[in-house]
Amino acid sequence: MGIQFDSKNKIFHLKAKNTSYVMEVVRDGYLLHRYWGRKINTFHNSNFLQLLDRGFSGNPYLHKDERTFSLDTLPQEYPQYGNTDFRKPAYQIQQENGSTITDLRYQSHSIFKGKEPLEGLPATYVESEDEAETLEITMVDSLIGLKVILSYTVFERLNVITRSVRFLNEGSEELKLLRALSMCVDFRDAEYEFLHLHGAHVKERHIERQPLRHGIQSVESTRGASSHQHNPFIALLRKGTTEDFGEVYAFNFVYSGNFLAHAEVDQFSNTRVTMGINPFDFNWKLEAGESFQTPEVVMVYSAEGLGDMSRTYHELYRTRLVRGHFRDQERPILVNNWEATYFDFNAEKILEIARAGSKLGIELFVLDDGWFGKRDNDKSSLGDWFVDHRKLPEGLDDLASKVKDMGMEFGIWFEPEMISVDSNLYREHPDWCLHVPERLRSESRNQLILDFSREDVCDEITKRVSDILESVPITYVKWDMNRHMTEIGSASLPADRQRETAHRYMLGLYKVMEKITASFPHILFESCSGGGGRFDPGMLYYMPQVWTSDNTEAVSRLKIQYGTSLVYPIVTVGSHVSAVPNHQVHRTTSMEMRGDVAMSGNLGYELDLTKLSDEEEKIVKQQVAHYKEIRKLIQFGDFYRLQSPFEGNETAWLFTTKDKSEAVVYYFRVLAEPAAPTTVLKLKGIDDTKQYQVIGTDKVFGGDELSYVGLSIPANIHGDFQSYVWHLKACSE
């Protein structure tokens, strides 16, 4: 591990666990990318850059007589615009004179142990200095006094490199940041597939993969949230890469707002990958003396396929992104009243559901939307965070105490970033929402967005939420956000800073979340944005679990949870059993299958438990008891995908403890098929040398047999929507 600088050849060699990353300073300070991939001992320039005279690739002024030196043909580390590189730059700055040309050159660097926090932004962290090493390279444009600090951290025990960039205006004129991406990698070929996670509300994080082609392929969000539509994650895969084999280069943006992730294959079949805040509709004024910090990108390299990439992200995020008391705690099994009652409830109904839950062994009751203001539907009251005494005459405190008396914890729903036009808050402060003067304000789900770029707005909402959390014995909060940004503008910003609003909103939101989560460390926070519309590492830094999707239907969930597992740890994946016919897709599946899908994440129930039949009650009771037995393994073990729902009718995955002494295997079959092939599941992640007993039977198999010969699916699984589970425990030697 470590970061080395060869001062003679001006080469930086960064080493994480099994990966190397190499850069070189050439000529008068140009910083080139030289290698990223499997770890090597030393770099001696075996892949030397062939300097060729390429037509229409010009030469920077100081090298105008050297027709073989062009920034257009060389792999750049943080490419700029305007001086011979015609690919998309990583950043762009406008001067007072209107010019958008900059010319950054290496000035100095520093290497230090550990990793510094990013002020005001979520980021991965270390707990001891020995876990990581950081390199900061200072680049300058001396003409305008621009300083750009490129920051790289390598993690000792993981194949992870994190990157971010800081812009400092040390000149005397005002600069405008038009583009400020957090990283760039110029790969020297294009023999990759581009993988990303696309989706929609109730259909999040579906995997799509296609070969790179010449030109630009990108995913982005312009919605003011990381979004259901595209996750801030992309990966380049060597052709033929599978779960277990092949090289993967992965990029994930630690940010919850607008992003751009972009791969450009150029005329010579090199591939440029960049990622960062979406430059679309972004413009940041950097006055003399001011600085701008970009969010972080987490880059993972895997030589062993997608499975290894996922386990690297899972380990890093579970242990060094998520923070606080709940990071290492088993998460409570909850029941949420949303799909049971929607807005139509009173204290009695809530207590009935809670009582039924407590009898089944459920540990936490969550009161969802509708407990405040006069919220009988989604048309009013957001912002009025005061209890509705019509529905809860004895108040929240009384309700929470009664739930606690049943032996359960009490949790509550908020949507702090929103405001209803029909609310006292809006009547008092109509200018507190994002809007553009004179223009009408578009609504979505009948609501507007509070302007979190304003300190007064953030303070008032922090106070309103905190007042409830202080006065009621609440141990869980679901933090929701149910629309995307339109008419983005802030009443508190001058005209030349209006295009900063969306990013300032994110900074305001992060500040509020930091303050509230730090003030209430005993509260477990779950983020939500109409389900999984903000399932990103930015949110995970503040809130250790996420409501994965508003779609609770078991078959749909196979794809949603499989796609989510590519990047995000299982413990963060909120997953509930709901009623049938399902409310989103109207499908009916068995209680067993719904339970098995939900137990493959962070288990909860979201249905009227008072309406369960005796048989269903029995099954739920068993599920709850079983999950308590295995949840440590599910939530904190290692995860292996065995069969993909994107490739066929069957899905399978496996969880093991870190020491491989125990594993749980889930198999799902969507439709019964005539003349179907017989499936044998080859297990992964277990120990070849151990003997495993299948719990509930007297069968014992060697780990090698389970891995190489495989497990047959029992023949007595009949009909559609089936699941099967094996619980394996290593026999004592």
Query: Footprint of ligand DGJ on this chain (CB under 6 A)?
Result: 338, 368-369, 413, 480, 482, 528, 530-531, 547, 550
Nearer residue to ligand DGJ within complex by CB, 227 or 453: 227
Give the residue from 136, 28, 34 showing the smallest Cα distance to 83.
Answer: 28
- Residues 93, 594: Cα–Cα separation, whole Å: 52
281 carries an active-site annotation: no
- Residues 306, 327: Cα–Cα separation, whole Å: 25
Structure tokens at 530: 């109409």
- Residues 195, 190: Cα–Cα separation, whole Å: 14
Per the document, the length of the chain is: 733
- Residues 396, 388: Cα–Cα separation, whole Å: 9
Nearer residue to ligand DGJ within complex by CB, 30 or 547: 547
Nearer residue to ligand DGJ within complex by CB, 417 or 480: 480
- Residues 475, 220: Cα–Cα separation, whole Å: 35
Number of Cα atoms under 13 Å in the Cβ half of residue 541: 24
Nearest approach, Cβ of residue 549 and ligand DGJ (Å)? 8
Nearest approach, Cβ of residue 351 and ligand DGJ (Å)? 20
CA-angle at 77, arms to 71 and 80, nearest 5°:
55
614 carries an active-site annotation: no
- Residues 158, 172: Cα–Cα separation, whole Å: 42
Inter-CA distances, 204 with 36, 226, 358, 571, Å: 31, 12, 31, 18
- Residues 678, 130: Cα–Cα separation, whole Å: 50
Nearer residue to ligand DGJ within complex by CB, 12 or 413: 413
Torsion of CA 389, 391, 397, 402, to 10 degrees: 150
Nearer residue to ligand DGJ within complex by CB, 171 or 530: 530
Tell me which of 384, 550, 596, 687 is the catalytic residue. 550
Nearer residue to ligand DGJ within complex by CB, 568 or 639: 568
Nearest residue to ligand DGJ, scored by beta-carbon proximity = 369
Nearest approach, Cβ of residue 336 and ligand DGJ (Å)? 7
Whether the CB-CB separation of 531 and 550 falls below 8 Å is answered with yes
Nearer residue to ligand DGJ within complex by CB, 580 or 695: 580
Nearest approach, Cβ of residue 546 and ligand DGJ (Å)? 10
Nearest approach, Cβ of residue 444 and ligand DGJ (Å)? 12
Nearest approach, Cβ of residue 453 and ligand DGJ (Å)? 24
Nearest approach, Cβ of residue 482 and ligand DGJ (Å)? 5
- Residues 217, 265: Cα–Cα separation, whole Å: 9
Going by their DSSP bridges, the two strands 215-221 and 284-286 should be labelled as: unpaired
Which amino acid belongs to residue 120? G
Tell me which of 141, 388, 480, 687 is the catalytic residue. 480
Which amino acid belongs to residue 327? R
Structure tokens at 466: 């905190």
Active site positions, annotated: 480, 550
